[in-house]
Chains A and B, each alone.
Chain A
Amino acid sequence: MTTMAVPAVTHRRIPLSRIVTTELRKLLDTRSGFWTVAAIGIVSMLTTGAVILWAEREELTYRTFTTAISVPITLLLPIIAILSVTGEWSQRTGLTTFALVPHRGRIVLAKAIASVGVAVVAIPVAFAIGALGNVAGTAIAGVDPVWDLTATDLLLLVLANVLGVLIGFMLAVLIRSSAGALATYFVYAFVLPTIALVLAQSQDWFHDLQPWVDFDFAQNALMDGSVTGQQWTQLAVTGVIWLVVPLAVGLRAVVRAEVK
């Protein structure tokens, strides 16, 4: 008879890399996860098609394609990040996940890395689809393709989208409910910027303050291609207010919360 009284072997700590790849698998192994990722490719193609069909000739530049594609992507990528976190609570898989990896911060970190990983792969794919659209569209229209985006522009666009993913992720960690996090994300992405816009137009004091408190405003600098030193500082300041601080609050809650 073999006995197993006291474990003789000391096991190795689960490496973070393995948690990341397992979380990446979990992003893609459900229908909702798989189709959200697949939708990025599909929607990029549809958007590209729409630009080819309806854009004016002189508007047919690479920037038009990437700008159009960016709209659905800024919505889809954060959803992936949100569902990856909230699923542990809404589907109650956290009961298994946090029993296998009891340091919850490591799971949260791995999910962040996996979500950002999906983004930095998906965005270049989407932009490549846009590039093909630019070639095809200009050929159909009989004009020369215009490549009006530099590598720096593209990198800044990727960064802007990664920030979007992190915002969704932060809200998911903070709220831990799919519906609540998604709703709040829309508030973050659309309602707050609109309020800020109206406020800036009507109130002089806010107009001057806006670059330092409005995260969305600060991120818009990334879309425009050239970012000044002051704009980087403003991005950092607003990022701390709207992303880092709430993420820290959410992380604290996740670590303390009861998983059941």
Chain B
Amino acid sequence: MITLESVTRTYGRFTAVDDVSFTASPGRVTGFLGPNGAGKSTTMRIIVGLTHATAGAATVSGRRYVDLPNPGLEVGVLLDASAQHAGRTGREILTISQRFMGLPRARVDEMLDLVGLSPEESSRRVRDYSLGMRQRLGLAAALIGDPTVLILDEPANGLDPAGIRWMRGLLRGFADRGGTVLLSSHLLHEIEVIADDLVVIGNGRIVAQGTKSDLLGAAGSMVRTSDRTTLAAALMADGVTSSYVGPDGLLAQADAEHVGRTAFAAGLPVLELRAADGTGLEEMFLQLTADTSREGALA
């Protein structure tokens, strides 16, 4: 289990991660979704103590990461598959992890086998690896300690379609055995196929979170209004749950008519209202991406 409580990280006056709270639960794959620059990698580095949070706290299996006596045996971490000494062989890189963790030497071969790196490939220098091979090696290093938690930053980058399917199966199996998986991606479709839960981040802030079926489910309506907090409260009074989506959107678990009437009764102007056809998340995500790139153009 991974828990974040109001984690914030600022760089000077720029807030890269802004009051982020979520839980990644055992037995589930939690997809951490957001456009480039949203703050996914910074959040993940904070979880494993490579970046210090300005405020808030993150725990893994109930403890701060730095307090884990031998972290590799509890948490498998893959943050950047390319962050390796290019002059070492794949086997040597795995051996270093195996040594640090104090594992039997045979684990190295088992892992190479598991991720499909042949003996010939594993004795090549990482300089000559494709990104896909580096990702496989990185997964091997994350799994070698037989952890119960996996933290993977964009692990599908560079994998071919067969590789992505293979990884999906691997992570599914890991979660089905009770493991916790937190994986990030900037591609909705990539994460849609594997995640059970979704945490969507944009500009450092969580913009939506919940189970995939809630967020992507056909039921419900997408509504935009001038004051979504009030509308959410009014819907709640009727027993209708809703979640924030995008900068001013609300995804309500009720049909459009119900939502429209509730908004009218609350005296709120409706800017947009339609049945959420499962593409609500996608649109929100596109909007987020557009916002980010607009800001990028201004910066």
Which 10 A-B pairs rank lowest in CB-CB distance, beginning with the nearest?
Answer: A92-B83, A3-B178, A13-B69, A259-B50, A22-B99, A95-B83, A11-B70, A4-B148, A102-B66, A91-B85
The reply to whether the CB of A226 lies closer than 8 angstroms to some CB of chain B is no
Q: Using Cβ atoms and an 8 Å threshold, which residues of chain B touch A260?
A: 41, 45, 50-51
Interface residues of A in 163-207 (CB under 8 A from B): none
Interface residues of A in 196-220 (CB under 8 A from B): none
Q: Using Cβ atoms and an 8 Å threshold, which residues of chain B touch A102?
A: 48-49, 65-66, 68, 71
Encoded as 1 (CB less than 8 Å from any B CB) or 0, chain A from 26 to 49 comes to 100111100000000000000000
Q: How far is the CA of A98 from the CA of B100 in the complex (A)?
A: 11
Encoded as 1 (CB less than 8 Å from any A CB) or 0, chain B from 63 to 78 comes to 0011011111110010
Q: Using Cβ atoms and an 8 Å threshold, which residues of chain B touch A25?
A: 95-96, 99
B87 and A30 contact, CB distance less than 8 A: yes
Interface residues on A, range: 35 or more
The reply to whether the CB of B61 lies closer than 8 angstroms to some CB of chain A is yes
The reply to whether the CB of A121 lies closer than 8 angstroms to some CB of chain B is no
A177 smallest CB distance to B (angstroms) = 16
The reply to whether the CB of A99 lies closer than 8 angstroms to some CB of chain B is yes
A-B contact number at CB 8 A: 119
In the complex, the chain B residue whose C-beta lies closest to that of A107 is B100
B141 smallest CB distance to A (angstroms) = 7
A31 and B178 contact, CB distance less than 8 A: no
B249 smallest CB distance to A (angstroms) = 33
Q: How far is the CA of A14 from the CA of B218 in the complex (A)?
A: 50
Q: How far is the CA of A98 from the CA of B49 in the complex (A)?
A: 8
> Do most interface residues of chain A lie in helix, strand or loop, or is the interface mixed?
loop
> Do most interface residues of chain B lie in helix, strand or loop, or is the interface mixed?
loop
A29 and B69 contact, CB distance less than 8 A: no
Q: Using Cβ atoms and an 8 Å threshold, which residues of chain A touch B69?
A: 10-14
Q: Using Cβ atoms and an 8 Å threshold, which residues of chain B touch A18?
A: 99-100, 102
A103 and B177 contact, CB distance less than 8 A: no
Q: Using Cβ atoms and an 8 Å threshold, which residues of chain B touch A32?
A: 87
The reply to whether the CB of A1 lies closer than 8 angstroms to some CB of chain B is yes
Q: Using Cβ atoms and an 8 Å threshold, which residues of chain B touch A92?
A: 80, 82-84
The verdict on A31 contacting B87 (CB below 8 Å), with A12-B70, A99-B77, A260-B51 known, is yes
A5 and B26 contact, CB distance less than 8 A: yes
Q: How far is the CA of A98 from the CA of B80 in the complex (A)?
A: 13
The reply to whether the CB of B179 lies closer than 8 angstroms to some CB of chain A is yes
A97 smallest CB distance to B (angstroms) = 8
Encoded as 1 (CB less than 8 Å from any B CB) or 0, chain A from 79 to 109 comes to 0000000010001111111111111000000
Q: How far is the CA of A25 from the CA of B97 in the complex (A)?
A: 12
Q: Using Cβ atoms and an 8 Å threshold, which residues of chain B touch A19?
A: 100
Cross-chain contact of A4 among B50, B72, B83, B177 (Cβ < 8 A): B177
The reply to whether the CB of B33 lies closer than 8 angstroms to some CB of chain A is no
The reply to whether the CB of B79 lies closer than 8 angstroms to some CB of chain A is yes
A139 smallest CB distance to B (angstroms) = 42
24 CB contacts below 8 A, A to B, read A1-B178, A2-B178, A4-B179, A5-B27, A7-B148, A12-B69, A18-B102, A26-B96, A29-B92, A29-B96, A30-B85, A31-B87, A32-B87, A93-B85, A96-B83, A96-B96, A98-B49, A98-B50, A99-B77, A100-B100, A102-B49, A102-B71, A103-B66, A258-B51
